[in-house]
């Protein structure tokens, strides 16, 4: 079955850039979206179709996807961005989530 792999954790200083990778076989041929989940909350869509931001999501969130890797980039990271982040893609009619990355803002 198709699998998406993310690093378990990423640490970033406030105001710096955080990059979260998501790896899967020929992932660049699929659309990827990203969800943010803060403790005790439901997931929130932050990027869809590789690089599009839903209404209300700050411009500091951006995405890219090529080859076998998709990347979520948080520019000028703020303390409020500390959360778990999950990538997601489709394999036929099955939704596949990444393993998740905990972003810590030090």
Partner 1 sequence: EVQLVESGGGLVQPGGSLRLSCAASGFTFGSYALSWVRQIPGKGLEWVSSISGSGGSTYYADSVKGRFTISRDNSKNTLYLQMNSLRVEDTAVYYCAKYGSGSSNWFDPWGQGALVTVSS
Does position 99 bind partner 1 by CB under 8 A? Answer: yes
The yes or no reply on residue 54 touching partner 1 (CB under 8 A) is yes
For partner 1, the closer CB: 15 or 82: 82
The piece of 11-19, 20-28, 64-72, 82-90 that touches partner 1 (CB under 8 A) is: 82-90
- Binding range to partner 1, per CB under 8 A, among 11-19, 64-72, 74-82, 87-95: 87-95
Asked if 56 is part of the footprint of partner 1 (rule: CB under 8 A), the reply reads no
Smallest Cα–Cα separation from 97: which of 22, 32, 2, 4?
Answer: 4
User: Residues 5 to 24: which contact partner 1 by CB under 8 A?
Assistant: none
Q: Which residues of the chain form beta strands (DSSP E)?
A: 9-12, 18-23, 33-37, 44-47, 61-66, 69-74, 83-91, 94-97, 101-105
φ/ψ bin of 79: left (φ > 0), alpha (ψ from -120 to 50), beta (otherwise): alpha
In whole angstroms, what is the distance from residue 49 CA to residue 11 CA?
A: 26
User: Among 16-24, 58-66, 70-78, 97-105, which window interacts with partner 1 (CB under 8 A)?
Assistant: 97-105
């Amino acid at each position: 079955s198709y699998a998406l792999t993310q690093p378990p954790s990423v640490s970033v200083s406030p105001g710096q850039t955080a990059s979260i990778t998501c790896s899967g076989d020929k992932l660049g041929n699929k659309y990827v979206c990203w969800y943010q989940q803060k403790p005790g909350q439901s997931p929130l869509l932050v990027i869809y179709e590789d690089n599009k931001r839903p209404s209300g999501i700050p411009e500091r969130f951006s995405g890219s996807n090529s080859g076998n890797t998709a990347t979520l980039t948080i520019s000028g990271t703020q303390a409020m961005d500390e959360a778990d982040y999950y990538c997601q893609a489709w394999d036929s009619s099955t939704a596949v989530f990444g393993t998740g990355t905990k972003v810590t803002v030090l």
